[in-house]
Amino acid sequence: MPEGDTIAYAARRMRPVLEGQVPDVIRTPQPRHAMDRWPERLAGRAVAQIRTHGKHLFLCFEGGLTLHSHLRMTGTWGVYAPGRRWGRSPRLAWLVLERGGHQVVQFNGPLLELVTESRTRFDRRLAGLGPDVLAAEFDFARFLARLRADDHTRGIGDALLDQRNVAGIGNIWKAEGCWEAAVDPWRPVSSVSDAEARAIIEGLRPRMLASAQTGRMAGEPRVFRRHGRPCARCGATILAGGQGDDNRTTFWCPGCQR
Ligand SMILES: [Zn+2]
C-alpha cells in the first residue's frame, strides 16, 4: 500500500507539469466516471495547487473545484515526459491530465472524486485525519492528543497505522519507526511515554522526507520484511507477526525493541 512518502513524491513530480497551468486535455477513461462530465466542468481552469495530507492527494483547480485521490491498496500515479511509455496498461487509467506533451495519469483508482464543497467544509473533512507526518513542521501536540484519546490497550504499532492519530504512515514506516526508537510495536499505547511516541516519529520522519524527495527508501529497511535475519543493531533474529484488527504483519527485533 502506498504510504505518505509515495504520495508526496507523486505530487512533487506533478507540480512542474500542472501547477499554475490549464491542462490541455483532461480525460476520465474509467466507465464509472463517464457520466460525471469532469472534463467539461474543469475545462479552462488552471490547477492552482497540488496538496497532500498523509495518503490523500488534492488537485485544487481554480474556482473551488478539487480532485481528491486516495490510492488505497491498488492505485498508482504516473508522470510521463513527452513520448514516454506508460508504466501500466491504458485500460487501467482512471484519469489523464495532459500539459505541454507531459501526462499525469492515475491508474486503478480506487478513490477519485471531484469535490465541490467550500474550503471550510473541505478542511473539516481533513480535520478527521491526524497531523501529516510529512508536514514541514510536525504537530506533535496534536498527535499525542489523538494517541491519548485512542484505545489504550491497542498496540503502538497498530495505533500508528490509524490515520486519525497520524496521517501518512503505513506498514513499512510503522515497523521502521518502532525500530528506530527501539520501541516494541506490541506494547499497549498506555505504556508508551510521550517521549517514546515522539522518538518513533522523529526516527521515521527524516527517512520518509528523504523518500518523498527521491521516490525510494535510501538504503535497506532495518526490520521491514527482514524476519529471520539478524538485527543490524543487536544481532538478534528479527520476528514477524500479524497485528491489530486488520492483522497487518509487523516486523520487530525482540533483542533491542523494548
Ligand atoms: Zn535488535
| 65-101 pLDDT per residue, tens | 999 999 998 999 999 999 999 999 999 999 999 999 9
Cα separation, 229 vs 141, in Å, equals 36
Q: What is the pLDDT of residue 28?
A: 95
- Give the CA-trace dihedral at 99, 104, 108, 110, to 10 degrees: -90
Asked if 3 is an active-site residue, the reply is: yes
Q: What is the pLDDT of residue 35?
A: 82
Computed over every residue of the chain, the mean pLDDT equals 95
Cα separation, 71 vs 31, in Å, equals 18
Active-site residue, from 12, 233, 248, 254: 248
Q: What is the pLDDT of residue 126?
A: 78
Q: What is the pLDDT of residue 124?
A: 75
Q: What is the pLDDT of residue 121?
A: 72
Whole-number percent of the chain with pLDDT over 90: 88
Q: Tell me the mean pLDDT in the region 147-172.
A: 96
- Kindly tell me if the per-residue pLDDT of 209 is higher than 90: yes
pTM assigned to the model: 0.94
Which CB contacts under 8 angstroms, 24+ apart, belong to 23-26? 23/47, 23/97, 23/98, 23/99, 24/98, 24/99, 24/100, 25/96, 25/97, 25/98, 26/95, 26/96, 26/97, 26/98
Asked if 55 is an active-site residue, the reply is: yes
Ligand 1 centroid–CA 63 distance in Å is 53
Q: Tell me the mean pLDDT in the region 17-44.
A: 94
Ligand 1 centroid–CA 182 distance in Å is 8
Q: What is the pLDDT of residue 120?
A: 66
Q: What is the pLDDT of residue 12?
A: 98
Query: For ligand 1, a single-atom ion, which residues have Cβ within 5 Å?
Result: 231, 233-234, 236, 253, 255-256
Q: Classify the phi-psi angles of 244: left when phi > 0, otherwise alpha if psi is within -120 to 50, otherwise beta.
A: left
Q: How far is CA 85 from the centre of its chain?
A: 25
Between residues 1 and 53, the one the model is more confident about: 53
Q: Tell me the mean pLDDT in the region 154-183.
A: 97
Asked if 113 is an active-site residue, the reply is: no
Contacts of 84 (CB under 8 A, 6+ apart): 103
Contact of 207 with 133, CB cutoff 8 Å: no
Ligand 1 centroid–CA 215 distance in Å is 27
Cα separation, 33 vs 68, in Å, equals 14
- Kindly tell me if the per-residue pLDDT of 122 is higher than 80: no
What's the residue count for the chain? 258
Ligand 1 centroid–CA 251 distance in Å is 11
> What angle separates helix 171-180 from helix 194-214, to the nearest 10 degrees?
130
- Kindly tell me if the per-residue pLDDT of 184 is higher than 90: yes
Closest residue by Cα to residue 248 from 181, 159, 133, 147: 159
C-alpha grid cell, residue 153: 490497550
Asked if 248 is an active-site residue, the reply is: yes
- Give the CA-trace dihedral at 155, 123, 131, 158, to 10 degrees: 20
DSSP code for 95: E
Q: Tell me the mean pLDDT in the region 214-226.
A: 95
Active-site residue, from 2, 23, 131, 185: 2
Ligand 1 centroid–CA 180 distance in Å is 10
Q: Tell me the mean pLDDT in the region 117-144.
A: 87
Ligand 1 centroid–CA 232 distance in Å is 7
Whole-number percent of the chain with pLDDT over 70: 99
What are the strands of the beta sheet with 76-80, ordered from one edge? Answer: 25-27, 93-99, 102-107, 76-80
